[in-house]
Amino acid sequence: MADPIEKIIARARQKQRLYLLEHECKAILKSIGVPTTNCLVAKSEEEAVRASEAIGYPVVLKILSPEVIHKSDAGGVMGVIGQSPLLGEEEVRRAYRELMARFKGRNIIGVTVQELAKPGLEVIVGAMRDATFGPVLMFGLGGVFVEVLKDVAFRIIPVTERDAQEMMEEIRGYELLKGYRGRSADIASLKDILLKVSDLVTAYPAIKEVDLNPIFAYPEGSIVVDARMILEQAPPREMAAVPKTDLSAVFEPRSVAVVGASNNPDKAGFNILENLLRLGYKGKVYPVNLRAKEVQGLKAYPAVEEIPHQVDTAIIAIPARGVVDVMRGCARKGVKAVIIISGGFSEESEEGRRLEEEVVTIARQAGIRIVGPNTTGVFNTQNNFTSSFVSLDRVASGNVAFVAQTGLFLGVLFEHILSSQHFGISKVAGLGNKADVDDADILEYLAKDAQTKVIAMYIEGLSDGRRFLEVAGRTTKEKPIIVFKAGTTEAGAEAALSHTASLAGRSEVFEAACKQAGILRVRSFEEMLDVVKAFSFLPLPRGNRVAVIHYTGAGCVIAADACQREGLELAKLSPATVEAIGRITPAWHRIRNPIDLWPAIEQVWVEAYDVAIEAALHDEGVDALVVSIFAMPRWETYTPDLDMLRASGKPVLFCVEGNEELVREAAAKIEGEGFPVYPQVNRAIFALSHLERYARLRECLAQGSCA
Ligand code: ADP
Ligand code: MG
């Protein structure tokens, strides 16, 4: 074992130690080219003096013990300004004796003697392993910034140079790093440390946590002053890769067996079959029922194997204990995918978990893909194939795909979407327990699905975060992914030895993963639908300059606030635009963006909108347009010239306010023509900001300079 790092790890393991001592960590850091304070081990007073002479006074003495993890808290650091006077030889002797007395009776190796680093900006770099995403890197300012303000940023390892740069820029304290009252930090040297720690943790899976706290950052260079590393309990085991076949049988089966198909309307198997028949699924349907000869007018079979035709996919809706047998039958029949609706598996009991494992084993051997169990399964509007047991009406086909782990999107929420939205749907998937098919598999499928333009996902947890991240990163180059993650308030890691692990909560790590993969995050279904709608209907803007037309001054102010909050710029209107609108506006009214249209409306009524919209869309300095109109009884509601909007090639978003019924009518008309409508101007701007963010991201991905 020539590798010095492996040697240090092996020696610690031999001594049953999961915690690498400071000098060991610093040796590791030195070997990967990260600068640290010189550090020698001394096991007696004499050795301490000799080490101090070798290093050069003044020095710092720190207690060296596998038992003392937080040294200064325990009174184990001497010689640092503010804690005790600078140490010369006499002081070194005294400090050594004092440390020995202080830690008497504990398992003490001795002390480390270190050079005293000159004060700099204190920074922390750390790494930990997240259960879902694997190794994660952290950066923050040290001292109170990390302890009290928790001003830290995370990225999933490995990180790119761009990630490293972004994580520094992300913390609130970045301004301090850039320079404040003559003190600044060498950003390049910090970036170098981040990248090296990322590499270290990637190359050595045995290292579970890293805390470099503090690092002193100077105008030129940075130096690690204290380091701590925690090892994995056992050397990590490799996860066996599961062979992944494609999911076409899940969404595009040519023939389907409905196991548990029923004539009894109270049974799930009734609605599943009825949905397929009523919606006009374009494939063969074979009911499977132990007793009935005929179900809903179709010939029924007692088992999947008895069906004398090819069966691509089976939908299984019978009690859990019967599913294993059905799976064996499916395997013999050569079925390619099963959708298990039934509950009573791992989500419910230990026995259920065993059943689920058995089902998966059979499927893996036979090369069958499983969706579920415990879900409503899928909907494909292209062939009207669905496994949902919720009675569904015809669904408008379109370009939005919804994915959730619950059956949510094929139940009540779906009804809400269908009854309130005017965009169409491509695919829906409820993944249930994700015994086999998971979020990453679905993403991989949807990325290639020509019908899908936008992917909306509701996520509670991920089974394999790294694969998800990898697939999502590839997918966002082609189409946007909008994620609503719930369950983010959960406290972070349990009792952790390192600072990094205690700060890396699930939500921070998930947030970091989304940034790296280019995923857009929303915080509610409302936001999700607002954003999805914009992507479904509109082209991407070429830039971030927005014009807003509103019928009130207050609306203009609210819009300006929203633009600033969401990172959009208010376009500077060209003289031609100002002049065109000026022609229909009283002379006293100053035209600027957001455009307060009321004075013009008073003069020329709906013509005001036509003129302003046309002028704004022709303005070279305008990349996107937000138009707020009103719907009032006794007034004619403005109807935009939608052909003109389309011809501009720029995204145009509407806001309609006023009488509820009239608003709904106007919204249906405008959305029916392919332009999104929002109830408030700030929501339109929020949605637009996501288009803009994604456009920027895609451009940067296309240039190959990010991800
Ligand atoms: P711990 O984190 O285990 O309490 P540290 O080694 O980080 O102990 O020491 C506590 C503080 O003392 C550090 O945050 C740093 O400000 C200061 N310090 C430690 N070592 C040095 C050193 N070699 N030079 C200058 N200051 C130091
Ligand atoms: Mg420390």
pLDDT reported for residue 492: 43
Q: Could you tell me what percent of the chain has a pLDDT over 90?
A: 79
Kind of pairing, strands 121-130 and 77-78?
unpaired
Highest mean pLDDT among 52-61, 185-194, 497-506: 185-194
| Closest alpha carbon to 231 in 467, 14, 503, 512 | 14
Among protein residues, the one with the nearest Cα to ligand 1's atom 16 is: 214
What's the pLDDT score for residue 508? Answer: 87
**348 CB contacts (<8 Å, ≥6 apart)?**
none
Cα dist from 224 to 27, 213, 481, 491, whole Å: 11, 7, 39, 29
DSSP class per residue in 398-464: EEEEEEESSGGGGTHHHHHHHHH--S-EEEEEE-TT-SS--HHHHHHHHHH-TT-SEEEEEES--S-
**pLDDT given at position 334:** 96
The answer to whether the CB of 137 is under 6 A from ligand 1 is: no
Rounded mean pLDDT of 666-692?
Answer: 97
The whole-number average pLDDT for the span 168-189 is 88
Instruction: Tell whether the model's pLDDT for residue 400 goes beyond 90.
Output: yes
The span from the first CA to the last CA of the chain, in angstroms, equals 35
Of the bound ligands, which one is closest to the alpha carbon of residue 122?
Answer: 1
Cβ contact 272:389 at 8 Å: yes
Query: Residue 26: which pLDDT band, with cuts at 50, 70 and 90?
Result: very high
pLDDT tens column, 566-576: 999 999 999 99
Q: Which atom of ligand 1 is nearest to the CA of 213?
A: 7
Position with higher pLDDT, 419 vs 281 = 281
According to DSSP, residue 36 is labeled B
480-500 average pLDDT score: 70
Contacts of 77 (CB under 8 A, 6+ apart): 60, 61, 62, 63, 71, 83
What confidence tier does 393 reach under pLDDT thresholds 50, 70, 90? confident
Query: Quick one: pLDDT band at residue 497, thresholds 50, 70, 90?
Result: low
Ligand 1 atom nearest to 143, measured from its CA: 14
Burial 131-167 (b: 16+ CB within 10 A, else e): ebbbbbbbbbbbeebbeeeebbbbbbbebeeebbbbb
| pLDDT at residue 659, as a whole number | 97
Can you tell me the mean pLDDT for 613-624? 97
* Mean pLDDT of the region 37-55: 93
Structure confidence at residue 412 (pLDDT): 79
Two structure tokens written together for 476: 């966002």
Q: How far is CA 632 from CA 421, 556, 612, 635, in A?
A: 22, 20, 21, 5
72 Cβ closer than 6 Å to some ligand 1 atom: yes
Q: Which atom of ligand 1 approaches the CA of 73 most closely?
A: 4
Average pLDDT score over the chain? 92
Q: Is 28 in the pocket of ligand 1 (CB under 6 A)?
A: no
Q: How many residues does the chain have?
A: 707
Residue 80 in contact with ligand 1 by CB distance below 6 A: yes
Q: What is the pLDDT of residues 290-326, one digit of tens each?
A: 999 999 999 999 999 999 999 999 999 999 999 999 9
pLDDT digits (tens, 9 = 90+) for 585-600: 999 999 999 999 999 9
Of 412 and 679, more confident: 679
Distance (angstroms) between ligand 2 centre and the Cα of 54 equals 24
Burial grade of 589 (CB within 10 A; 0-12, 13-18, 19 or more): middle
DSSP state letter for 644: H
pTM of the predicted model, to two decimals?
A: 0.90
Who surrounds ion ligand 2 at CB < 5 A? 213, 226
Rounded Cα–Cα distance for residues 631 and 217 (Å): 59
Nearest-atom number in ligand 1 for the CA of 68 is 3
Instruction: Kindly state the percentage of the chain with pLDDT values over 70.
Output: 95
Grouping H, G, I as helix, E, B as strand and the rest as coil, residue 352 is helix
Please name the residues in contact with 244: beta carbons below 8 A apart, sequence gap of 6 or more. Answer: 441, 444
Give dist(CA 626, CA 617) in Å, integer.
Answer: 11
pLDDT, residue 303, reads 97
Q: Output the residue whose Cα is nearest ligand 1's atom 20.
A: 225
Q: Tell me how far the alpha carbon of residue 474 lies from the centroid of ligand 2, in angstroms.
A: 39
d(CA 248, CA 422): 27
Residue 201, CA distances (Å) to 136, 239, 330 in order: 9, 18, 44
Alpha-carbon span 654 to 635, nearest angstrom: 18
- Answer whether 73 contacts ligand 1 (Cβ < 6 A): yes
Q: Answer whether residue 503 shows pLDDT above 80.
A: no
Which of these, 391, 438, 439, 381, lies nearest to 412 by C-alpha position? Answer: 391
Average pLDDT of the segment spanning 472-499 = 77
Coil, strand or helix at 359: helix
What is the rounded CA–CA span in Å between residue 669 and residue 29?
A: 64
**At 270, is the secondary structure helix, strand, or coil?**
helix
The pLDDT of residue 493 = 43
Instruction: Give the tens place of pLDDT for each residue, 166-177.
Output: 999 999 989 989
Each residue of 437-464: pLDDT tens digit?
A: 999 999 999 999 999 999 999 998 888 8
For residue 117, which atom of ligand 1 is closest to its CA? Answer: 24
pLDDT of residue 81: 54
Ligand 1: which residue has its CA nearest to atom 14? Answer: 214
Contact of 61 with 69, CB cutoff 8 Å: no
Query: Tell me: the pLDDT tens digits for 518-560?
Result: 999 999 999 999 999 999 999 999 999 999 999 999 999 999 9
Looking at all shown ligands, the one closest to residue 77's CA atom is 1
